Chain A
Amino acid sequence: MSDKSTEFFEKFQDKIAKIIKKPKRIYFNIKNEDLREISDYLFNTMGCRLSICTATEVYDGLEVLYHFSDDTTGIYYNPRVKTGLENPEINSITPLIEGANWIEREMYDLFGIKFKGHPDLKKLLTINNPHFSEDDHPMRFNRNRTKEK
């Protein structure tokens, strides 16, 4: 692992849990309130690029995995934030990183995760689709199905 990576894990060692290290891929859990600070450090100080985020529904809630790519070393930093199944809410990082705008809208659309602080949180993919109502999030297992007219 590079110096930058060691420095990062030393700086945030109290805020990071459950680190899984694989060649060029690092997954770790963080809390929702630390997300902005850690994203800011990864994006602005370390010069990582936000590749994309992945939302997944697991048995005890929803989790969002952020994929930060360090293009100088090829290492992926993947902070994971968890939230509950009822009224899922996560802090938005769009005010920090403009590139997170669309993916946060997509995750709101497909999973119903509300991103606190997003400047314009509306559906991205099913916005014009008459088969999906506003509270129908199609990637959820117990989705609130839109009734056929």
Chain B
Amino acid sequence: MSKCRIPLGPFHPLLEEAEFFDIKVEGEKVVDIEMETGWMHRGHEKISETRSYTQSIFLVERICGICSTSHPFAAVHAMEDIDNVEIPERAQYIRIFIGEMERIHSHLLWLGLAGHFIGYDTLWMWTWKYREPVLQIFEKVSGNRNHYAMFRVGGVGRDFDNALIPEIHPVLDMLEKKMLMLAGAVKDDPVLWSRLKGVGVLTKEDAINYCANGPTARASGVDIDVRRDDGLEYDLINFDVIVLPNGDVYDKLVLRVLEIIESVKIARQCLDAFPKVGGEYLNKVKHISPGEGIGRYEAPRGEVFHYIRSDGSNRPLRHKVRAPSFSNIPTYKASCVGIPLADALITLAAVDPCYCCTERSIRVIDEDNKKLEHNLLTMSREKTANLKKVVAGSEKTPIDRIFED
């Protein structure tokens, strides 16, 4: 069978960053995938060299709109690493709280979109409904639904208002209940099971060799989590690192549901600590000595890495930023090859690169030079619809049953 080349992008249905995927298919099967990046290169590293340290924190917050707090988190870690700055305990709890609430909303966003891509729109609407109260909490705590601007070198810039605690507890209770329900539904649902199980497998060897990190690596059985490995703030908290063995899209979905439940537990521990831990929330740092520092943080998508080199002035001499997707996107070369094109969409989405609402159809020119237009999203949904007919027949799905109850 002759090979066919399918260009996907640069404005890709799944990615906020414009990226180009050159997929080679034989019939329906993907045989090779090449990636090209660079459409979103904004030169943040170079701009940061012209800004003061405090301005750099705001700058790196703009790198990602969804996990916006993870870059400042890693950047302040790098700046604090140069001088080993002490952080007040209250500030540490506020940092953890912001980081974990962000993980919840980011994973809920991914869950919804994953459901949307495979044509499971119920999941999409539900998870986005549960995401809304989390954003409202952010608005109350920091004044913004996104870009919270909480981080400073030596602590946080804004105190947490203890009066908000009774308002936040019910939201966390609701989230935990709904996530347990979702975990049950995902486990029982025959359609999700047959649509996602064994799709886009990233083996443990590949995950290690490609240096993957975050949920992508943990779903392949690699036990890494910066929160536990690097310690710092998270030494105050008890939590489990969730590791699943199979490396397919199903495990990545289950892992994110379980991580939300874990994040709810961490957020609760912070809320319990706030009334007990008072005092300062910012240890004012006047000067950063010459030297170099490495900071990292477990963003919802994986390890965010910042390296800062200081010459003693108020600006960084070199500021290296590595977002988790930089390590995770090359794993497509291992996970996408050999799977049908309709499954490629959800496999590309499973790594959780940043999304965009843009949807574009792909154009394939066939032998008679006629243009065939397929919408990948439609193809993916048709597959789910067919599966629903085959698997479920006229029977009701577990989610339907929950509705009836």
Interface residue ranges, A against B (CB under 8 Å): 22-25, 27, 49-52, 54, 56, 65, 67, 69, 71-74, 76, 78, 97-103, 123-129, 138-139
Contacts and interface: CB of A to CB of B under 8 A. Distances in A.
Interface in B1-41: 10, 20, 36-39, 41
Nearest to B81: A25
B305 A51 contact: yes
A67 B305 contact: yes
Contacts, number: 84
A129 B41 contact: yes
A69 B222 CA distance: 14
Given A99-B209, A127-B36, 6 more contacts: A52-B320, A52-B326, A56-B309, A56-B317, A72-B229, A126-B41
Given A25-B81, A71-B224, A102-B326, A97 B211 contact: yes
25 contacts: A22-B84, A25-B293, A25-B294, A49-B213, A49-B224, A50-B211, A51-B303, A52-B326, A56-B318, A67-B307, A71-B223, A71-B229, A76-B294, A78-B294, A97-B211, A98-B209, A98-B210, A99-B210, A99-B211, A99-B330, A124-B37, A125-B38, A127-B36, A127-B38, A139-B45
B188 interface: no
B330 A98 contact: yes
Contact of A129 (B38, B230, B303, B327): B38
Nearest 4 pairs of A and B residues by beta carbon: A99-B211, A54-B320, A52-B322, A125-B38
B330 A102 contact: yes
Contacts of A102: 326, 330
B39 A128 contact: yes
A67 B74 CA distance: 15
Contact of B318 (A54, A72, A78, A138): A54
Contacts of B170: none
Nearest to B49: A139
B104 to A, nearest CB: 24
A65 B305 CA distance: 13
A125 B292 contact: no
Contacts of B294: 25, 67, 76, 78
A97 B309 contact: no
Given A52-B322, A56-B309, A23 B36 contact: no
Nearest to A122: B36
Contacts of A27: 292
